[in-house]
Amino acid sequence: MLRLKRRLLFVCGWTALGLGIVGLAVPVLPTVPFVLLAAWCFLRSSERWHQWLVSHPVFGRHIADYLSGRGLRAPTKVVALATLWASVLLSVVVFVPLLMIDVLLLAIAAAVSVYLLRLPTWAPGGSPTETNVPGDSVERRSSAREEAGMPTAGATLQAPPSAASEGGDEPGPQPAREKRGAPVPKGDRHIEYLAYGSNMLSARLRSRVRSATNPRVVALPGRAVSYRKLSWKDGSAKCDLAVAPDPSATAYGVVFDIDPSDRGALDAAEGCGHGYHAVTLEVTYSGRVLHPFAYVADQEALVSDLPPFDWYRDLVVAGAKEHALPPDYVASLAAVTAAVDPEPHRAAEERSIIPAE
């Protein structure tokens, strides 16, 4: 049944994309809604074609802006609204003589217009002009994080109680400091991204953002990586980075440089706004302070007693081995009990990028 569902979604995705392509030449068909529908279908049926679509030079930026919660760019909104009303008014005035149908078409156009206008308007290098982003509202997320004792937007995590000496004067390890949101790049500079899960594997990250370069291993004192984030794509557990119960614990990650233009594609691939949110961390590499962004799980996306799929765990371990993380840390990532993916084709596709040992 699950395989049949994926195949139907795959066919629907290509059908929607085809209609979107036709809409480039036929004003009656709005392109953007069909392309967004295609992205939604591919997200649930084919990781490969979803990544291809969100990385596409024509369609990808609109999808990435929408899925990342930034909304739509102003020119996209203008074109969508102009196309919508042009086609509806043409139908009402020229092609549809029935008053009842005319009223229905105008009502639908008005409802779609309100929906588009209420979406955030995003400008490159800026922020959404509205806060009513798709999915969970900012207010509800902040409230949930406050109730759980987690930082709200713009807050910085305080260091946990230190494992001080008997005199209480020696501070314990300080956790990597965190601030909600990601740095806004200036000009054409690269931005730094911290991977701590499957994206540590260079081949996996570069299948999502081709510009990823310059990997650097960093220690994350006072942090822990665990498989506890519910994936809304396949229902398994994915990695999350959180403050460790033991303040002396240390996690590890890999910082990559990526082009700012790839940020939207990475947001979409990681599900930013759908269980993950971006934070800026302060870490140290070779005596220099870096401020990469990373994706961490929303409180409402955390689960317990849900295993990752074995291919996902193997991707995490392969990335840790690629960058020569400490053997005991690699062993702890590999020791987690995993489940067999009921979709063997997906498992084979995901494993295909793991290098042979």
- Cα–Cα distance for residue pair 192/150, rounded to 1 Å: 24
Identity of the amino acid at 10: F
Helix (H) or strand (E) holding 61: helix 60-67
Domain assignment of residue 26, yes or no: yes
65 domain-assigned: yes
Residue 157 has pLDDT above 60, yes or no: no
Q: Find the largest Cα–Cα distance for the chain.
A: 88
**pLDDT value at 141 more than 70:** no
Type of residue at 126: G
Same domain, 114 and 183: no
| pLDDT number for residue 7 | 78
Question: Is the same domain home to 115 and 183?
Answer: no
**Considering the domain boundaries, does residue 292 fall inside one?**
yes
Number of domains in the chain: 2
Range of 236's domain? 138-160+172-351
131 lies in a domain? Answer: no
Question: Domain check: are 237 and 320 in the same one?
Answer: yes
Q: Is residue 127 part of a domain?
A: no
pLDDT at residue 138, as a whole number: 35
The answer to whether the pTM exceeds 0.75 is: no
Structure confidence by residue, pLDDT tens digits, 77-108: 787 788 778 877 887 888 777 888 888 878 87
More confident residue, 135 or 279: 279
312 and 252, same structural domain? yes
Please indicate, yes or no, whether residues 19 and 97 belong to a single structural domain of this protein.
yes
Does any domain span residue 180?
Answer: yes
Looking at the structure, tell me whether residues 145 and 117 fall in a common domain.
no
Burial class (CB in 10 A: 0-12, 13-18, 19+), 349: middle
**Which CATH number goes with the domain that contains 223?**
3.10.490.10
User: CA-based Rg of the chain, rounded to a whole angstrom?
Assistant: 23
pLDDT computed for residue 179 by the predictor: 56
Q: Do 111 and 151 belong together in one domain? A: no
Q: Are residues 117 and 142 in the same domain?
A: no
Do 23 and 59 sit in the same domain of this protein?
A: yes
How many residues are listed for the chain in this entry? 357
Same domain for 108 and 142: no
- Is 356 within the bounds of a domain? no
pLDDT given for residue 120 in this prediction: 74
Assigned domain for 184 exists = yes
Claim to verify: residue 31 and residue 154 sit in the same structural domain? no
- Measured CA distances, 354 to 145, 313, 320 (Å): 36, 11, 12
CA–CA distance, 238 with 198 (Å, rounded to integer)? 9
Question: Same structural domain for residues 47 and 9?
Answer: yes
Between residues 235 and 314, the one the model is more confident about:
314
